[in-house]
Structure formats: C-alpha cells, structure tokens
Amino acid sequence: MQPQGDAVGATAETGLRDRKKARTRQAIRAAGLDLYEEQGFEQTTVDQICRRADVAHRTFFRYYASKEALLFGTDFGEAILDEFAAAPAGLDLWDAFLHAVARTDGTLEEPTEHTARRRALRRRFMGIRTVHDHAVQLIDRLVRRTIGIAAARLGADPARDLRPHALGAVLGAMTRRHVVDGVEGEGPMDPWWDAFRQVMPPPGR
C-alpha cells in the first residue's frame, strides 16, 4: 500500500501538471486569436503563434492539430453529445437529445470570452477554403458520433436502422446552418429546437 504522503504528493504533482497544461493551452489560444484579429487568418503562421506564445513548434501541435483547430477549439459540440450519451436510459431518442440540449443550454461551446472571439473570427474567415473545410469535417465528426450514440441507445444496427441517421441529420443541418452558413448566434439555439418541435408530428401520429 502506498504511503498516504506519497499519494498526496502524486495528486499535487498531477494537479500542477494539469494547471501547467491549461496555462500553455491558454497562451497558445490567446496568441493565435490575437494574431488572427490583428493580421488575418491566412497571414498568420504557426511559427508566429509559437513566438507570440513563447512555446516550441512541437508544443503547438500537442494542443492543436492546425491553425483551423485553434479557431474552433478541441471540444466543439462535444458537451451536447456527452450529455446525450449520459441521458437516462428510460428516455426515448428525441427526449434524450432534448435532455442533452437542456443540460447544455443548447450551446455548442462553453460561453466564455474566447468563445465569443472565436465565433466572430469564424464568421470573418468562413470564406477561406481551409476554414470552411475544417468546419465541414468537424460537423461530419459530430454527426458520426451522434449516429453512434443514438444506435447504442436504441440497441440498433446503424447499417440497417435509419433512426440514428435521422437524428444525426438534424444535428448536422443545425450545426451547418449555425456555423458554415454564417448565422452563428451569441446564445443558445432555442429557435432551432422550437422549429423542430413545430415540424415534428405529435406522439402517436
């Protein structure tokens, strides 16, 4: 059995590492967003971000796979899907999804200062091919995960059952309109959920 003092020390060391990683990520993010605002996305290089953040080139890529990834963040849309996966088992598919929306206030990202900056920059740069393509790839990833979660909740084979794909299509269309088509809002996407409820048939029909 490990001595209690060693356990406390290990926990403290882990906490210190986590705080250092968070500070490094914050420094890279701030440097990137500052440079995007100052001189534009295409004019900004990874080397410039690294110099501004005072980190090594390889450190940047430990946190972000690309300039585009920094613009969107590493957990875009994941909070809703995490809550969808964790929704009570007794809920049907749509109610489980609405449960996830309620738990996250229907937002794709945490409502922080850097999120607002990212949204503004994405609207500004969505016409750039690499930014647009990254957004489409990210949405496709969210749709695939939605299908996987929905299939697991239903105990269904997504190769044969269209219900998981139907829900994935809803999320994909909403996210594409919200991000790619340039109508991102500053708050939750309540109008979307209201619109979906209006076109969905009442239970039993």
pLDDT tens per residue across span 167-196: 999 889 888 887 887 665 545 556 666 776
| Right CATH for 71-199 from 3.40.720, 2.60.120, 3.30.420, 1.10.357 | 1.10.357
What is the pLDDT, as a whole number, of residue 178? Answer: 79
Domain residue ranges of the chain, discontinuous segments joined by +: 4-64, 71-199
* Both tokens assigned to 141: 């990833």
Average pLDDT over residues 136-165: 95
Q: Please, is 128 exposed, middle or buried when counting C-beta atoms within 10 Å of its C-beta (0-12, 13-18, 19+)?
A: middle
Which is more confidently placed, 107 or 80? 80
pTM of the model: 0.80
pLDDT for 134 beyond 60: yes
- How confident is the model over 82-99, as pLDDT tens digits? 999 999 999 999 899 889
d(CA 8, CA 104): 34
Which is more confidently placed, 18 or 152? 152
What is the pLDDT, as a whole number, of residue 116? Answer: 86
d(CA 100, CA 106): 8
Give the chain's mean pLDDT: 86
- Cα→Cα distances 150→77, 94, 180, Å: 16, 9, 24
What is the pLDDT, as a whole number, of residue 102? Answer: 84
| Residue 41, number of CB atoms within 10 A of its CB | 19
Contacts of 176 (CB under 8 A, 6+ apart): 136, 139
What is the pLDDT, as a whole number, of residue 104? Answer: 82
What is the pLDDT, as a whole number, of residue 8? Answer: 55
Identity (one letter) of the amino acid at 195? A
What is the pLDDT, as a whole number, of residue 111? Answer: 61
Average pLDDT over residues 116-120: 90
d(CA 116, CA 32): 14
* Both tokens assigned to 68: 């585009």
Q: How confident is the model at residue 112 (pLDDT cuts 50, 70, 90)?
A: confident
d(CA 36, CA 38): 6
Q: How confident is the model at residue 113 (pLDDT cuts 50, 70, 90)?
A: confident
Q: How far does Cα 33 stand from its chain's mean position? A: 17
Classify domain 4-64 at the CATH topology level.
Arc Repressor Mutant, subunit A (1.10.10)
What is the pLDDT, as a whole number, of residue 114? Answer: 84
